[in-house]
Structure 1
Amino acid sequence: MVATARDASTLADLAAEYPDTALALSLDVTDAGHIQAAVERGTGRFGAIDVLVNNAGYGYRAAVEEGDDTDVRTLFDTHFFGTVDLIKAVLPQMRARRTGTIVNLSSIGARITPAGSGYYAAAKAAVEGLTGSLRKELEPLGITAMVVEPGGFRTDFSGRSLQQSAEPIHDYADTAGKRRKENDTSHGTQPGDPAKAAAAIITAVSSAEAPEVLVLGADATTAHVGVLQAQLASLEAWRHVSESTAVAE
C-alpha cells in the first residue's frame, strides 16, 4: 500500500507499523512532478498499482459571489485536476495489465448543493461526471471506476482543513453565512465513522462488480434519495414543456 500526504511524516506511524506492506510518500496532487515520482516509487516498490484512491481535498465555503478567484482555482486544481492527473499517471499500467480499480471521492454535497458550498459541490460534481464517462471507457478493458459519496464523517473536514471566503457579504448571512466556520457546530458531531467508511470502500472494491456510486452514511443515503425524488417530481411536472420542443412534422 502506498499512503500519501503533503507531509509524509504524518504517516510515519503507519509505515512503521507495516514496514513490509506500507510505503509513506509526500504528494502534492497539484504538482505533476510529485505525482509522477509517487507513481514511479510505488510501482517500483510493489510492482504495480492495482487500486487508486483519489481522496485529496478540503472543504471550501463561500457564497458564489464571495468566492475568491485564486481560492476557487486552487480548489479545482486539488479536487478535479489533481484527480485527473493521477488517473492519467496510473492508467497506462492498468491498461497494459487489463485490470485495476479507480476510486474517486466525491461528496453528498455534489447532490444536495448546500448554500455556501457552491464551489465545493461544483468541483465534486465535475469529479462525478468525469468518473461516469471514465467507467464506460474502462469497462471493456477490465478496469473499474467508481465514485464514493460520503455524508458527514468525523474527520477534520469541518475543522482544521475547512477553508472559506475571507470577506462575507451580509446579504447572504441567512443562507451561506450559516455554514461559515464561526457559525457551524457540526465538527466532532458527524454521524459517520471514518474507519467504517474505509471498510465499506474496501468491500466495494473487492466485490465482483463495484457500484458506480457508493453512498456512505444513512444521512447521505436519505439525502440522495430525497434529491432523486424531487428531481423526478420536477421532471414530471415539466414534462409537457420538455416534450413540446420537438420539430413539427
Structure 2
Amino acid sequence: MTDKKIWLVTGAGRGMGTDIARAALDAGHAVVATGRNPDRVAAALGAHEDLLAVALDVTDPTSVQSAVDAAVHRFGRVDVLVNNAGNFYAGFFEEITPEDFRAQIDTNLFGPLNVTRAVLPVMRAQRSGVVVTMSSSAGLIGQEFTSAYAASKFALEGWMESLSPEVAPFGIRTMVVEPGFFRTDLLTPESTSYAEPSIEDYAQRTRQTVTAWKSMNGQQGGDPAKLAEALVQLAGSQEPPVRWVAGADAVAGVEQKATDLLAQVDAHRELSSSLARDDATANA
C-alpha cells in the first residue's frame, strides 16, 4: 500500500483495535478510529493530523451510519474497514442465559454486519476496498466453555467466506484474521463476562477454567503490535489472503483441525458416497 489509504477501525479505544489503528497511522495512512467513547479512543491513540475519533456502537445501525458518514465527510472515502469490536461471554452452554447468548451474537456477528453494510456502498462506488474482520481460532475450533463465542465467530467465518465472491467483481477484497492467544484485553473483566454458576455438575470445571483463564490474562505469548503491523502489510497487498491464521498456537490448532476433518471424512467415506438415488445410478 504505497499511497495513503483511509482506514476505519472499530473498537479502537483499547486492545487490538488501538494497535491496529496505531500501526496504520505509523504506516502513513489516515485512520477513522471508532468506539463507544470517542474521547477514550483519542486518548489511547494521541493527537495526529490523520486521525479522526468517532463514536460508534456496532449494535446500533444509526450510530454506525453516522460514523461512516463522518469518515466520508472528513476523508472522502473508506479504503480499509477493520471489524475489530467484540466481546466474550464465557461459560458452559447450559449456564449461559439465552439473553447473554443472544447479546454475544448481536455484538460479534451482527455488529460487523451492521458496519460492513454501511461501508460497502462507499467501496462499491470507489470500485475498491478491503474488508477485514477479526475472527479467532475459535472461529474454526470449538472447545468447552466457549459455545457462545465460538458460535459468533463460526458465523463470522461463513458470512465472510460467502461475502468474498459477492463483492470481488467490484474490486473489493475480504480478509478474515484468526488470532490465537495474544496479549490483548480480551480476558480482562471489561471484555469477558462469565456465566453465573448454577449447575453443580459443571461447578468444579467452571472454577478450574475461570482460574486458568484469569491467570493467563497478561501472560499470552502473542504480541498484538506485531500482529497489527503484519495486518497493515497484508491488507495493503495486491491479493490479501482470504484467511490469515495469526500466531504459532493458532497455526498448530488449525492444522490439527484440518487433519481431524479429513480423518472424519475418511472414516465413513464409503457410506457417505453410497447415498445416491438408485434411479440416478440406473440412468447414468
- TM-score, structure 1 normalization: 0.95
Distance in structure 1 (CA, Å) of the matches to 2:137 and 2:238: 25
* Structure 2 counterpart SS, 1:60: strand
- 5+ residue gaps, structure 1, are none
Q: CA deviation at 1:172?
A: 2.5
Q: Match for residue 26 of structure 2?
A: none
Please, which of 65, 68, 78 is the counterpart of residue 36 of structure 1? 65
Distance in structure 2 (CA, Å) of the matches to 1:162 and 1:2: 26
Q: CA deviation at 1:112?
A: 1.8
Please, which of 201, 209, 220 is the counterpart of residue 190 of structure 1? 220
Q: Match for residue 107 of structure 1?
A: 136
Greater Cα shift, 56-65 or 182-191: 182-191
> Is the contact made by 2:131 and 2:173 (CA closer than 8 Å) also made in structure 1?
yes
Q: CA deviation at 1:170?
A: 2.5
In 2 relative to 1, CA 120–176 (structure 1 residues): closer, same or farther, beyond 3 Å? Answer: farther
Distance in structure 2 (CA, Å) of the matches to 1:189 and 1:14: 22
Distance in structure 2 (CA, Å) of the matches to 1:2 and 1:179: 37
The answer as to 2:123 corresponding to 1:78 is no
Q: Match for residue 7 of structure 2?
A: none
Q: Match for residue 11 of structure 2?
A: none
Please, which of 31, 35, 49 is the counterpart of residue 78 of structure 2? 49
Alignment-mate amino acid for residue 189 of structure 1 = Q
* Structure 1 counterpart SS, 2:155: helix
> Is the contact made by 2:197 and 2:203 (CA closer than 8 Å) also made in structure 1?
no
Distance in structure 2 (CA, Å) of the matches to 1:175 and 1:166: 13
Q: Match for residue 214 of structure 1?
A: 244
Distance in structure 1 (CA, Å) of the matches to 2:180 and 2:199: 27
Q: Match for residue 254 of structure 2?
A: 224
Q: Match for residue 12 of structure 2?
A: none
Matches for 1:50-199 after TM superposition, within 5 Å = 50-160=79-189, 161-173=191-203, 175=205, 178-180=208-210, 182-184=211-213, 185-199=215-229
Alignment-mate amino acid for residue 29 of structure 1 = V
* Structure 1 counterpart SS, 2:173: strand
> Is the contact made by 2:180 and 2:250 (CA closer than 8 Å) also made in structure 1?
yes
- 5+ residue gaps, structure 2, are 1-30
Q: CA deviation at 1:16?
A: 4.0
Q: Match for residue 235 of structure 1?
A: 265
State the percentage of identical aligned residues: 40
Alignment-mate amino acid for residue 217 of structure 1 = G
* Structure 1 counterpart SS, 2:81: strand
* Structure 2 counterpart SS, 1:35: helix
Alignment-mate amino acid for residue 116 of structure 1 = F
> Is the contact made by 2:132 and 2:177 (CA closer than 8 Å) also made in structure 1?
yes
* Structure 2 counterpart SS, 1:147: strand
Distance in structure 2 (CA, Å) of the matches to 1:125 and 1:15: 31
Q: Match for residue 10 of structure 2?
A: none
Please, which of 10, 20, 24 is the counterpart of residue 53 of structure 2? 24
> Is the contact made by 1:7 and 1:26 (CA closer than 8 Å) also made in structure 2?
yes
Alignment-mate amino acid for residue 82 of structure 2 = V
Alignment-mate amino acid for residue 153 of structure 1 = F
Q: CA deviation at 1:14?
A: 5.1
Alignment-mate amino acid for residue 165 of structure 2 = K
